[in-house]
Amino acid sequence: MAKKYAMVHDNNLCIGCQACNVACRSENKIPESVYRLQVWVKQEEYPNGSLGYEYHRQSCVHCENTPCVSVCPTKASHVNEDGIVLVDNDLCVGCLYCVAACPYQARYVHPVTKAPDKCTFCHESRLSRGEEPACVTVCPTEALVFGDLNDPKSKINKVLSERVTYRQKERLGTQPKMYIVPNHKGGINS
Amino acid sequence: MNQIWGSMEQYNTVVWHWPIAVYLFLAGLSAGAIISAIVVKWMKGNDVSPWDGIIKAGAILAPVTIGAGLCLLIFDLTRPLMFWKLLIHYNFGSVMTIGVLALFAYMPVSILFLFGVFKKELAVDGPFKFLAPIADLALNYGKALEAITLVLAVGVGAYTGFLLSAMNSYPLLNTPVLPALFLASGVSAGISANLVVGLLFFTHSTKDANVSYLHGLDVKVIFAELFFIFILFVGMMYQGGATAHAGAAALGTGGLSTLLWVGVIGLGLLLPIGLNFALPHGVKHSHAFVIFNALIVLVGVLALRYYMLYAGQTFVG
Ligand code: SF4
Ligand code: SF4
């Protein structure tokens, strides 16, 4: 059966250390000044005056209903059989329609190929070797969980069954495969 | 770069820049020019050679402006040498593919129209004698071809709106009224460009009756545009939340909102309407005024495209 890869980012475990960001850069040889992945740290003040932090994983959320793929005129942007959204550089003309249409600002123009690039769940490297994405492996607090939604026994399905999660901008109907365990304090800004 | 996660330069929501605005303007103008030329051509007394100057103007403007627009578009791709892949790989769910196919059909029919209208200059006395059969084809099947051209032109004019409205990442663009607004303003630009070219370059063959007909039509289209812009923002307000926020910001923030109020609405829409009602009949129908009026309308339509593209990508709620 085809896989359906997804990820969980736990806002309570994340400490904003950027180890994932750095691991992604070295694994995927990301050129200087562009990023597939960042974790934005935002200070929050709760109603009782206490302070805390919110962590936002800024990367492709691997939508199931993909705006970027729908608009791509050449089908260069596509979803592979495992539910991972990819760009086929051989087909890309560089119209940047996908970059504009992505509601998550997940895509940037690769300075060398001039084609859009984005998180691939390390599909081309680690995943094909049977390893987890670099960000997941390196995370010191295990805030990231990766796995196959089609496998009832997978670790990610266990987490999704036990924890409250939400997805960003769900109102747009994109059905992201990036689930967020919200901070136990404060409100959720989806 | 002073945050620990690194440079945020790539997160600029403005992805498409001014060449796209100019392309959207030229595509709309091309469609509008050929639509208004065909409408004039179908009127009593205009359907035989020698053609009215308006028809000649439209026949030249339509292929030239769309050609120029497409060149701009191709050079604006980040991988311009790959553009041919657009012609052989299709995604029928993408407005861009639909646009490519519409343009694929629209280019040849607009060139046919040109050859029909300028048969004498191009194929009889001119350098394209070998294309005489094409010119004859355009003339013999004039009505049918023009009907097809009209439909395709409406498609080209509207698709530029759908291209932007298909993206739900931008609330100001993600609105059903955008294609109607772009089609209307494209028709307005086409009429104006036809009037300028007709009156300046084909002065003797441009009939006053056609000029005032088109000028009158333009005023009506401008009213429609104003109404569409009104609907667009009211619709955003009613949606509330981030969309209402984006709408309010787009109406009132920075240079872009000045461009909207002064350039698009003031200069491009209200001034032509105001002048049309305020000026005495004699002035209103002078060639100089019609040309002046057409030029401000053109500036207004270009401003509208520029505003929509930039404000749309800037104010995301
Ligand atoms: S987050 Fe953006 S790039 Fe990733 S699948 Fe969704 S629309 Fe495409
Ligand atoms: S930039 Fe490339 S991948 Fe993106 S929509 Fe255009 S052709 Fe498709």
A76 CB within 6 A, ligand 2: yes
Q: Do B169 and A96 touch (CB under 8 A)?
A: no
Do B171 and B189 form a contact (C-beta atoms < 8 A)? Answer: no
**Tell me, what CATH number does A56's domain have?**
3.30.70.20
pLDDT, tens only, A64-113: 999 999 999 999 999 999 999 999 999 999 999 999 999 999 999 999 99
**pLDDT over 80 (residue A189):** no
Q: For residue A99, list chain B residues with Cβ-Cβ distance below 8 A.
A: 15
**From B94, which residue of chain A is nearest by alpha-carbon distance?**
A71
Please check whether residue B166 touches A, CB under 8 A: yes
Classify residue A190: in a domain, yes or no: no
Task: Report the atom number in ligand 2 closest to the C-alpha of A96.
Answer: 1
Write down the pLDDT at residue A24. Answer: 97
Please check whether residue B147 touches A, CB under 8 A: no
Chain centroid offset of residue A76 CA: 19
Tell which residue, B294, B289, B229, has the closest CA to residue B261: B229
Give the CA angle between residues B252, B258, B263 to the nearest 5°: 135
Give the CA angle between residues B180, B181, B187 to the nearest 5°: 90
A173 CB within 6 A, ligand 2: no
Classify residue A111: in a domain, yes or no: yes
User: What residues of chain B score a pLDDT lower than 50?
Assistant: none
Q: Which of residues 81-110 of B touch A (CB under 8 A)?
A: 82-83, 85-86, 89-91, 93-97, 100
Classify residue B59: in a domain, yes or no: yes
A67 CB within 6 A, ligand 1: yes
**From B313, which residue of chain A is nearest by alpha-carbon distance?**
A100
Q: For residue B168, list chain A residues with Cβ-Cβ distance below 8 A.
A: 67, 101, 103, 172
Domain of A128, in residue numbers: 5-181
Classify residue A45: in a domain, yes or no: yes
Q: Do A93 and B167 touch (CB under 8 A)?
A: no
Nearest-angstrom CA–CA distance, B22 and B75: 13
The answer to whether the predicted template modeling score (pTM) of the entire model surpasses 0.90 is: yes
Per the structure, the count of domains in chain B is 1
Classify residue B2: in a domain, yes or no: no
The residue length of chain A stands at 190
Write down the pLDDT at residue B192. Answer: 98
pLDDT, tens only, A120-159: 999 989 998 999 999 999 999 999 999 999 999 999 999 9
Helix, strand, coil in percent for chain B, rounding step 5? 80, 0, 20
Classify residue B13: in a domain, yes or no: no
Q: A1-14 as b/e, with b when 16 or more CB fall inside 10 Å?
A: eebbbbbbbbbebb
Please check whether residue B281 touches A, CB under 8 A: no
pLDDT, tens only, B202-242: 999 999 999 999 999 999 999 999 999 999 999 999 999 99
pLDDT, tens only, B20-60: 999 999 999 999 999 999 999 999 888 888 899 999 999 99
Classify residue B211: in a domain, yes or no: yes
Classify residue A146: in a domain, yes or no: yes
**Tell me, what CATH number does B254's domain have?**
1.20.1630.10
Write down the pLDDT at residue B1. Answer: 52
Please check whether residue B9 touches A, CB under 8 A: yes
Per the structure, the count of domains in chain A is 1
Q: Do A34 and B11 touch (CB under 8 A)?
A: no
Domain of B89, in residue numbers: 18-314
Question: What is chain A's mean pLDDT, rounded?
Answer: 95
A106 CB within 6 A, ligand 2: no
pLDDT bin (cut points 50, 70, 90) of residue A188 is: confident
User: Would you give the end-to-end CA distance of chain A in angstroms?
Assistant: 32
Classify residue A102: in a domain, yes or no: yes
